[in-house]
Structure 1
Amino acid sequence: MKSKYIYLILSPLVIIIAVFAVSALPEKTAENPIEDKSILAVEVDYAKLKTLQNTIEVTGKLRAKDRYEIYAEVEGRLLPSAKKFREGNYYKKGQILLQIDQQERYMTLLADKSNFMTSLTAILPDLKQDFTESYPAWNQYLKNLDINKSLQPLPEPKTEKEKYFIAGNGIYSSYYTIKSSEEKLSKYTIYAPFSGVISKSDIEAGTAVRAGQELGEMVNLSSYELEVTAPLKDIEHFKIGNKVRLFSSELENEWTGTVIRIGNTLDANSQSVKVYIQTSGKTLKEGMFLTAQVNSEAYKEAVQIPRKLIFDGNKIYVIKNNKLALQEIEVMETFKSDAIVKGVPTDAAVLMTNIKNPYEGMKVQVLN
């Protein structure tokens, strides 16, 4: 009974002491507030305005500028030559490439010239009697005639009557027949039209050739032509006479080319135009691929940024007071994955992180 009274007296006392103890504890301060996990960490690039220009690169295949396909214009047996007509052999301009046996044609030409001399001799007495003024010229022409040389032009008749007399005796007909044979005889020997190498050979010495048959091909290695395909949006940067930098992915060399022609037709599928660039160099080979590099117009006070960060065609985001702010820009040129733009303030913190669904005023944290 006594212990029950003691318990009733001590219980309120313990509660009172506990209340005072809790109230005496110091209040907790929020020295380190919990970070808002919704704030994104982003990267920025501080704009440095400078003069920029786009570098346009197009690739094409190199071809010799001068190419000569060799065909036979006469029939006959191909004669052996001092230098065999083989791929890779070099010939100087004017050097004999091929010779076709012309002996039979040459003998026929000599016979025609002999008959022509006979015809001239036959009309000289009549010329002396009826055309006294013209006789000395025709007589001298006959004296100078050499059947082993090319015929010289006939004397000019002084009157219509004389012209009809000469024509009536078949002199003009015989003359032009011989000149035609002389021209045809010259086709039995084929000369190099320029200094170059044989790129294709389709004939062997001793074989018979026919008129119209292809014998081979010759190319000039001193000058090349590069055919490239430029996108329509970049064609304005290719102008006739402009210098172009050329390089190869296989070699360390560089060359300089000149734009010589620009195509007038547009490829409907690729929306591109063909451009032709002339170049030369000892290490160049026909058939190799070269890349042509040309610079676009230079833009002052511009910056280069990724195209994916441009919104609505003319806006980007900059960071102001750790918040996104829209900045209007002017896109000068786009290429590959970047763009050259103007209108960005100097040292502006341009957003470089691609954010999903960004909006103006959005809080961000700039990464150091």
Structure 2
Amino acid sequence: MKIKHLYLILSPVIIATAFFAVKALPEKKEEAPNEDKSVIAVNVEYAELQTLQNNIEVTGKLKAKDRYEIYAEVEGRLLPSAKKFREGNYYKKGQVLLQIDQQERYMTLLADKSNFMTELTAILPDLKEDFTESYPTWNQYLKELDIKKPLKILPEPKTEKEKYFIAGNGIYSSYYTIKSSEEKLSKYTIYAPFSGVISKSDVEAGTAVRAGQELGEMVNLSSYELEVTAPLKNIEHFKKGNKVKLYSSELDSEWTGTVIRIGNTLDANSQSVKVYIQTSGKDLKEGMFLTAQVNSAAYENAMLIPRKLIFNDNHVYVVKDNKLEVQEIEVMETFKSDAIVKGVPTKTAVLMTNIKNPYTGMKVQVLN
């Protein structure tokens, strides 16, 4: 009976003690359920492989390929010509451009030729006596000599003795003096070296000119040369003999040019090389600006993507089952903002959105 009453007294005490003991324990925080991170929405481009080329464009200034600066090699008074020597006038090849008064020089030349005839006449008797075999040749040369025509080549001496005899009488000296004067006389008339127009005229008829004075300039309009500056990375596409398409932003026309020369020096500042292109055609004028367009090699099974999406030089991200994966590529050519690449399987969803800190397996939501 006492034991029963003891249990009845202790039970509430035990329960109360246990209650307060539990209360005294530190509270255990309830773990919050994992919150799903937000999925990034991205754009992709499904790879459609095709043959791509890079259109390289460079601009330059057109100038005449053949340019002839006209200088006076003799002095005298400039004579009036049938066609005035003025800018824009057209001359055919071989037509007289300018003529300087040569009358005084011409008379001096005639006098020298007359003296030469006298010298030949004086040695004929000795030739007939001492050089019988050569006499008919020299006699015939004298008969055919016309002081108004250029001197013919002197007969060839048959022996050393004859050569010394001719030289001792001053025949060779007189002959070459006259030939020099004939050459000098030809400088008084200036002929057109090719068919073209006068691009600059610095003289007028009646004015006195001196030796070495610039008289004007002539250009050939049938052929032009375009000088362009090509970036070093693209110079391999400009090869001698290659055809180039030319066009002007001012005219609705196109022309075809041919690469004729490539510079050997590199501009250190622009990292470029000079390329020279020959062309011809209607509406072309010296001084106009033309753009030359040349195509690079064709790349098959390639696609064009933004350069900013390429990382580690040759990798891009693709989307598969709404997750990012790394795709290795081969970069064929790079431009300012794009690049031609190969190695992407057709219909692959290539990531086109530049996202922050991407990684393999990252969940994304494709918008398009």
TM over 0.5: yes
Deviations 1:113-167, CA, capped at 9 Å, x for gaps: 0000010011111111111111111111111100000000001111111100000
Distance 1:193 1:223 in 2: 14
**What is aligned with 2:237?**
237
Q: After the TM superposition, which residues 259-270 of structure 1 pair with which residues of structure 2 at under 5 Å, given as runs? A: 259-270=259-270
Distance 2:106 2:262 in 1: 48
Q: CA deviation at 1:170?
A: 0.3
Distance 1:37 1:276 in 2: 61
**What is aligned with 1:104?**
104
Deviations 1:285-313, CA, capped at 9 Å, x for gaps: 11111111111111111111111111111
Range that drifts further, 315-324 or 154-163? 315-324
**What is aligned with 1:324?**
324
Which amino acid in 1 is paired with 2:315?
K
Distance 1:247 1:46 in 2: 35
Distance 2:159 2:337 in 1: 83
2:339 is the alignment partner of 1:352: no
Q: Pairwise CA RMSD of aligned residues?
A: 1.3
Distance 2:310 2:168 in 1: 90
- Normalised TM-score (structure 2): 0.89
2:88 is the alignment partner of 1:88: yes
Q: How many residues align?
A: 334
Q: After the TM superposition, which residues 12-23 of structure 1 pair with which residues of structure 2 at under 5 Å, given as runs? A: none
Distance 1:63 1:36 in 2: 70
**What is aligned with 1:23?**
none
Distance 2:86 2:93 in 1: 17
**What is aligned with 1:113?**
113
Unmatched tracts of structure 1, length 5 or more = 1-34
Which amino acid in 2 is paired with 1:177?
T
Q: CA deviation at 1:268?
A: 1.3
Which amino acid in 1 is paired with 2:340?
I
Deviations 1:290-337, CA, capped at 9 Å, x for gaps: 111111111111111111111111111111122222111010111221
Distance 1:200 1:353 in 2: 60
**What is aligned with 2:186?**
186
**What is aligned with 1:163?**
163
Distance 1:88 1:36 in 2: 82
SS where residue 303 of structure 1 aligns?
strand
1:161–1:227: structure 2 CA closer, same or farther, 3 Å change rule? same
Deviations 1:188-217, CA, capped at 9 Å, x for gaps: 000000000011111111111010011111
Which amino acid in 1 is paired with 2:216?
G
SS where residue 116 of structure 1 aligns?
helix
Q: After the TM superposition, which residues 254-333 of structure 1 pair with which residues of structure 2 at under 5 Å, given as runs? A: 254-333=254-333
**What is aligned with 1:173?**
173
Deviations 1:247-295, CA, capped at 9 Å, x for gaps: 1111110011111111111111111111111110111111111111111
SS where residue 336 of structure 1 aligns?
coil
**What is aligned with 1:74?**
74
Distance 1:107 1:335 in 2: 72
Which amino acid in 1 is paired with 2:252?
E
**What is aligned with 2:122?**
122
**What is aligned with 1:64?**
64
Which amino acid in 2 is paired with 1:166?
I
Structure 1 runs (4+) deviating above 3 angstroms are 35-38
SS where residue 178 of structure 1 aligns?
helix
Which amino acid in 2 is paired with 1:74?
V
Distance 1:285 1:162 in 2: 62
**What is aligned with 1:13?**
none
Q: CA deviation at 1:37?
A: 8.0
Which amino acid in 2 is paired with 1:140?
Q
Distance 2:139 2:159 in 1: 17
2:146 is the alignment partner of 1:146: yes
SS where residue 259 of structure 2 aligns?
strand
**What is aligned with 1:3?**
none
Distance 2:250 2:358 in 1: 45
Which amino acid in 1 is paired with 2:182?
E
SS where residue 319 of structure 1 aligns?
strand
SS where residue 181 of structure 1 aligns?
helix
Distance 1:145 1:316 in 2: 90
Unmatched tracts of structure 2, length 5 or more = 1-34
Distance 1:83 1:237 in 2: 47
Q: CA deviation at 1:36?
A: 7.0
Distance 1:118 1:350 in 2: 100
**What is aligned with 1:9?**
none
